[in-house]
Structure 1
Amino acid sequence: MKITNKEIEAVSQLEAFQRYEYFIKRVADSERMYTLVDDNGNFAIADVESSAVLSVWFASEFAENNAVDEWGSFSVKEITVEEFEEDIIDMIEKNNWLINVFSIKGKSGFVVNINEFAKDLSAEM
């Protein structure tokens, strides 16, 4: 689903928790989210306050906008909610990662643990 420049500008102005709430609603509607991966399919993992985090966005355009600097060679990967539940949750738990929801221009988004994330997404769906 393509988003407009107007939506990109409006959503980018929201505070981190508001972006998180918006993300949850949009992912519940589309049943898709996006992240960044390298050429080998490894996720782009950032360090936020000494925690490893997996960054996710509700639209590929936002993910593309964050494929800069150390992630400049990374590409956007679409993840269905089903794939997230079946494959990625276990990986997140195994690696003790947090989820960085909707970072913008190198600034952290709303960082949440997998249990809270799954609970919020499930409640919205």
Structure 2
Amino acid sequence: MKINQKQIEAVLALSSEERYKHFIKVIADWQEVWGLYHDGWALAETDTGEISFPMWPAKEYAAICAENEWGGYVPEAFSLDDLLGELLPNMKNDNVVPCIFYTTLDKGVVTTIEQLSYDLNEELKRY
């Protein structure tokens, strides 16, 4: 699904907590998640020094962040099933935390793997 510029601007104007809720709803609905990829997935460092894996609900949002240290990275999708079944367990083993809806102005919501899994599963129960 393509997102228009007005939608992008409206969502980016939301607080990080509201963008997190939007992320949960959209990926539960569309069944896909977006990251940035170039010879490996883009990672970031949190304010507390943890390594985080940034994720977005749509290609357009990820593409906006493909600049500066992520210049040359391209948006790449993976399924919600892959996120829940493979990526989150691998992140837990590697001590990497989820970073939801990073923007050029806001580092997004850093959450635990358990909280992200819980929130996604609760949203999926509504479908």
Q: What code does the residue aligned with 1:18 have?
A: E
2:108 is matched with 109
Q: Which runs of 5+ in 2 are unaligned?
A: none
1:8 is matched with 8
Which whole-Å CA distance do the structure 1 matches of 2:73 and 2:90 have between them?
A: 19
Which whole-Å CA distance do the structure 2 matches of 1:104 and 1:29 have between them?
A: 22
Alignment of structure 1 residues 23-102 onto 2, 5 Å: 23-38=23-38, 40=39, 42-49=40-47, 50-102=49-101
The Cα of 1:95 is off from its aligned counterpart by: 1.1
Q: How many residues end up aligned between the 2 structures?
A: 123
Which whole-Å CA distance do the structure 2 matches of 1:106 and 1:56 have between them?
A: 15
Moved more, 100-109 or 48-57: 100-109
CA shift in 2, pair 1:8/1:74, >3 Å: same
Q: What code does the residue aligned with 1:28 have?
A: A
Secondary structure at 2:18 match in 1? helix
Q: Give the alignment's TM-score, normalised by structure 2.
A: 0.93
Q: Give the alignment's TM-score, normalised by structure 1.
A: 0.94
The Cα of 1:73 is off from its aligned counterpart by: 1.1
Give the root-mean-square deviation of aligned CA atoms. Answer: 0.9
Do the aligned partners of 1:16 and 1:102 also contact (CA within 8 Å) in 2?
yes
Do the aligned partners of 2:56 and 2:62 also contact (CA within 8 Å) in 1?
yes
Secondary structure at 1:122 match in 2? helix
User: Which runs of 4 or more aligned residues in structure 1 lie more than 4 Å from their structure 2 counterparts after TM superposition?
Assistant: none
Which whole-Å CA distance do the structure 1 matches of 2:88 and 2:102 have between them?
A: 20
Secondary structure at 1:108 match in 2? coil
Secondary structure at 1:3 match in 2? coil
